[in-house]
Chain A
Amino acid sequence: MKKLVATSLFIFWTFVVSVIVASLVYYEGGRQPQVPMPNGSDQKYNTSLDGSGDSGILLSAEETAKHGSQDDCWLIIGGKVYDVTSFISLHPGGAGEIIFYCGKEATNAFNTKNQGSPHSSNAQAMLGDYYIGDLNQKVAK
């Protein structure tokens, strides 16, 4: 039993320390190369995809997918696009429950919390604060 506890302690600290060290190394070396964009363009200056040529952003699924990290997190919920980046750390269900959906369609996850029960009306209202536009709508930058 003692050996089992010692082994578990060893696994625990090896895991924790290596994750933290890895993230430090990643942080040092990995700041510059951002996640490569599918079309190679800079995400901040994306041209619209509908060919109209003006300076808006089309809130497409592809566009949303570019905002797929915890530092830049868009969600599609019920045909609407939300930028919840600033909310992630405030999420009562833990940051983790949101970041798995960054850049993705999250309607089902939002409606069921993955466990079968919906979010409260209060949560529904809060979501409104992060609304950018409807899916496939063109918005100004």
Chain B
Amino acid sequence: MSPLRIKENIGWLFVIILSLIPIAIWYSMVPLNVRFSNLSVSLRSFGQVAGLVGMAMFSMTLVLNTRLKVFEDYFGGLNKVYIAHHIFGAIAFILLMFHPLFLAGRFLLVSVRSATSFLLPSANWPINFGMFALLSMMVLLILTLFVKLSYNRWLPTHKFLGGAFFLASLHIFLIPSDISRSLPLRYYMLSLAALGLAAYSYKTLFGSKFIKKFEYDVDSIKEVGKNVFEIKMTPLKRRMKFVPGQFVFVSFHGSGVSKEVHPFSISSSPDDDRLGLTIKVLGDYTSKLNNLKKGTVAKVEGPYGRFSHKIIGNKRQIWVAGGIGITPFLSMARSLKDEGYSIDLYYCVKNKDELIFSNELSKISTKGESLRMVTFCSDDKGHITGEFIKETSKGLSGKDILICGPPGMMKALKKQFIELGVKKRYIHSEEFELL
């Protein structure tokens, strides 16, 4: 594995280690043969482990949500950081659900009634805090995972998870347990809880004060294709530096459009004085973007992402774009100079009407030696395949492959490339569905 890609995975390892440290301390406190001497005590031990690791991972998900740039280096881009946020969040949730189940199982060994009184709220507030934390987590995560809310309705619900985390922190410090008995474990869990709450305050409670944003002025807005708009903006103060292929979080502050923050790919070249975003109207928010007027102020947070031809050392590349997934490649193509790149771009759409940028891209490809473009319409030829790309690109070996498009397309192509013998480390993808 190249050094870059090892670094891109260290984040995962780091989170796993931080989440398992509580078990190490717990393990050192009492010998395992005591911890698991009979069924009753074993159930308690399982419950403790589930609670400790679940809480540690819950804290990590809040930390990962801060979008600190340093995490991008260790996960390989912000979208990968969010994938980690989802996965560790889900594991934490599952563990925290099993935490009371194991403990209730222990009461079940005594009597059904004692298990019931354990599972129901009582005068014992430390336990109640834990219950309320878990119940609010359930409601909020069911909304996230199983109810399709629109982005601007979902986001405020998800923010309440910080409240669940606060209740869970109260629970772990008020309840008599191994955390109250072991000083190292107490300090460790206290630090994780403080870290989680600090991350939550920084990002969610006071994000508008702490997080630096660039201010831009909307200069022009043009419908470049059916439901596709290109917005050009000029910097009000400082110009944001970025690598082509990166994305930003933008909120527009003007009449006719709400101030929600949304992620968008940058489509302009870093050499361009103006910042360009190319947006496809998909949801209820983007449908209002054509109300944007010249002079609307845009607050831009970023840049984020590690999806760029510039970040990959290898100059022989294959780019595969599906539909609006062309945007990061637009930025990359527009920034190409004679730097020795050899790139085959596959521009895949449904039909010719959607080939919005093919004219501009073919101009770029005739101007220099670096870029060749192949257009592909699925209405005519079906879905593009790894085999087709292998043939038309004259082999896949020695090339890095960059894919950006709908999730189904990316998944299918990745699988096909791996079956064709391409190593995973040569395949780079930009998951658009960030949040």
Contact = CB atoms under 8 A, between A and B. Distances in A.
Interface stretch (A15-23, A43-51, A79-87, A125-133): A15-23
Contacts of A23: 112-113, 115-116
A15 B112 CA distance: 12
A79 to B, nearest CB: 24
B408 to A, nearest CB: 16
Contacts of B86: 1
Contact of B123 (A8, A89, A100): A89
Interface string B95-130: 001100101101110111111111110111001000
Contact of B94 (A5, A69, A95, A96): A5
A70 B181 contact: no
Interface string B261-303: 0000000000000000000000000000000000000000000
Q: Is the interface of B mostly helix, strand, loop or mixed?
A: helix
Interface of B: 29-30, 34, 40-41, 86-87, 90, 93-94, 97-98, 101, 103-104, 106-108, 110-120, 122-124, 127, 138, 141-142, 145-146, 175-176, 178, 181
A9 B134 CA distance: 11
Contacts of A96: 103, 106-107, 110, 114, 118
A94 B116 contact: no
Nearest to A26: B112
B94 A8 contact: yes
A15 B43 CA distance: 15
A122 B103 CA distance: 27
Interface string A114-137: 111100000000000000000000
Contact of A99 (B98, B114, B116): B114
Given A19-B108, A20-B119, A93-B176, A70 B114 contact: yes
Contacts of A4: 90, 94
Interface of A: 1-2, 4-6, 8-9, 11-12, 15-16, 19-20, 22-23, 26-27, 69-70, 89, 92-96, 99-100, 113-117
A8 B87 CA distance: 15
Given A5-B90, A5-B145, A96-B107, 18 more contacts: A1-B90, A2-B146, A8-B94, A9-B138, A11-B97, A11-B101, A12-B98, A20-B119, A23-B113, A23-B116, A26-B112, A89-B122, A89-B123, A89-B124, A92-B176, A94-B175, A99-B110, A113-B181
B120 A20 contact: yes
Contacts of B101: 11-12, 15
A94 B127 contact: yes
Contact of B30 (A70, A89, A93, A116): A116
A95 B119 CA distance: 12
Contacts of B118: 95-96
19 contacts: A2-B90, A8-B93, A8-B97, A8-B98, A12-B97, A12-B101, A16-B104, A19-B112, A20-B116, A22-B112, A23-B112, A23-B113, A95-B114, A95-B124, A99-B110, A114-B34, A115-B181, A116-B30, A117-B181
Nearest to A20: B116
A115 to B, nearest CB: 6
B30 A115 contact: yes
Nearest to A12: B97
A96 B112 CA distance: 12
